[in-house]
């Protein structure tokens, strides 16, 4: 029987968060060989905003009440990345998180990151992209390569819907339409998990309100200069008003179906690559072109996207038109030479496809 003394919004939030953790940890245990006997250490990325503060309080509540030996509240720590983008406001956010963790008896590390200095050096990136990249670099630098450790972020259902709409507008293919996955591996091998992907912003805000939990408001979230803010404040509200009141939930649910279909396609693409790839290094890949021509063009596109992932080549700027051009070149054999975002050069000689990253730098 549920505890009637607990507000319904709190029960709903913690129940959904538990389901999210169970789903993520099941995937982690199956795909990342997490040490089952020693328990799981959760490193929470906490900005001080409503989403991450709800994640912190909800996680602590779950872990302190859990009967699972793998889940223990003393195996939770917090990382906060201070971008310094908003001057004193950013410093105040960092201090808020530090004091909050101290009151909760949770270990906290503050990671400085100067995105403003980076922005001038990376002309092809927007401030949003630079901030995201630096944030993950800072988080990874503080996490040990421990088989029992997971980085946890507070991305939720509305974030998922925003991501999918953003990707769709930019010309992404199926992989972009799956949005954020519940689990992915960071460059240093540590799993990143997102247990709140099926929790709405409304639900977590109600949880914070009913529990009397304070949080920081990020003024940059209202800046219409950022693409995501325009999607959040204009596009999604219009969809929910004019199309369906549960548009965000429905978009996130569709993303889950796309993700399941992609799993099947990835497995098929992997088997084809095993037959097609002749030689492979971190910067170079040679493929047998004729063995690709028997497959439909859309599958050839997907095979290349899987190859890009395996090679750890940049996919951020690869749009649908790039994947189509790549597949067309591979199947038709023309043009014999072509360049793609991220410094990838394709060369075709007869039945040999050669993909080379940064050929000018490599000489």
Parent domain of 138: 8-243
Domain final position from 187, 215, 243:
243
Question: Domain with 92 in it: what CATH number?
Answer: 3.40.50.620
Q: pLDDT tens digits, residue range 350-359? A: 899 999 997 5
Strands 344-349 and 337-340: antiparallel
Burial of 245 (0-12, 13-18, 19+ CB in 10 A): exposed
Can you tell me the mean pLDDT for 126-141? 75
* Total structural domains within the chain: 2
Q: What is the CATH number of the domain that holds 311?
A: 3.30.465.60
pLDDT digits (tens, 9 = 90+) for 281-302: 989 999 999 999 889 988 999 9
Q: Is the pTM of this model over 0.85?
A: no
Domain boundary among 213, 243, 273: 243
Confidence of residue 336 (pLDDT cuts 50, 70, 90): confident
In a domain, 42, yes or no: yes
- At residue 363, the pLDDT reads 36
Residues 181, 118, single domain; the answer is: yes
d(CA 106, CA 78): 7
- Residue 140: pLDDT band (50, 70, 90) is confident
Asked whether the predicted pLDDT for residue 239 surpasses 90, the reply is: yes
Helices (H), the chain: 8-31, 50-65, 88-104, 115-121, 127-141, 157-169, 174-177, 201-211, 227-230, 236-242, 247-276, 297-311, 320-332, 359-362
238 and 266 share a domain? no
């Amino acid at each position: 029987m549920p505890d009637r003394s607990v507000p319904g919004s709190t029960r709903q939030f913690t129940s959904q968060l538990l389901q999210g953790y169970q789903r993520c940890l099941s995937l982690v245990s199956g795909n990342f060989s997490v040490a089952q006997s020693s328990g799981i250490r959760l490193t929470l990325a906490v900005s001080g905003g409503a989403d991450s503060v709800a994640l912190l309080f909800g996680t602590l509540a779950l872990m302190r009440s859990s009967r699972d030996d793998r889940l223990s509240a003393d195996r939770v720590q917090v990382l906060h990345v201070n971008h310094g983008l908003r001057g004193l406001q950013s410093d105040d956010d960092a201090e808020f998180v530090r004091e909050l963790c101290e009151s909760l008896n949770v270990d906290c590390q503050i990671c400085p990151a100067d995105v403003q200095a980076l922005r001038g050096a990376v002309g092809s990136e927007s401030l949003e992209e630079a901030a995201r990249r630096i944030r993950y670099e800072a988080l990874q630098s503080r996490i040990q390569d421990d088989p029992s450790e997971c980085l946890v972020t507070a991305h939720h259902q509305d974030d998922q819907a925003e991501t999918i709409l953003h990707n769709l507008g930019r010309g992404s293919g199926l992989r972009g339409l799956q949005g954020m996955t519940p689990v992915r591996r960071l460059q240093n091998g540590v799993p990143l998990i997102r247990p709140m992907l099926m929790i709405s912003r409304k639900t977590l805000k109600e949880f914070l309100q009913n529990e009397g939990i304070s949080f920081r408001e990020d003024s940059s979230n209202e800046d219409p200069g950022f693409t995501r803010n325009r999607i959040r404040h204009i596009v999604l509200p219009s969809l929910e008003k004019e199309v369906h009141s549960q548009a965000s939930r429905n978009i996130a649910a569709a993303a889950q179906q796309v993700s399941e279909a992609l799993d099947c396609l990835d497995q098929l693409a992997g088997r084809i690559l095993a037959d097609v790839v002749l030689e492979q290094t971190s910067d170079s890949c040679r493929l047998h072109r004729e063995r690709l021509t028997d497959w439909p063009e859309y599958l050839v596109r997907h095979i290349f996207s899987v190859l890009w992932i395996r090679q750890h080549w940049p996919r951020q700027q690869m749009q649908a038109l790039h994947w189509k051009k790549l597949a067309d070149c591979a199947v038709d054999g023309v043009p014999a030479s072509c360049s793609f975002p991220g410094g990838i050069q394709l060369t075709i000689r007869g039945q040999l496809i050669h993909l080379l990253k940064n050929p000018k730098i490599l000489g």
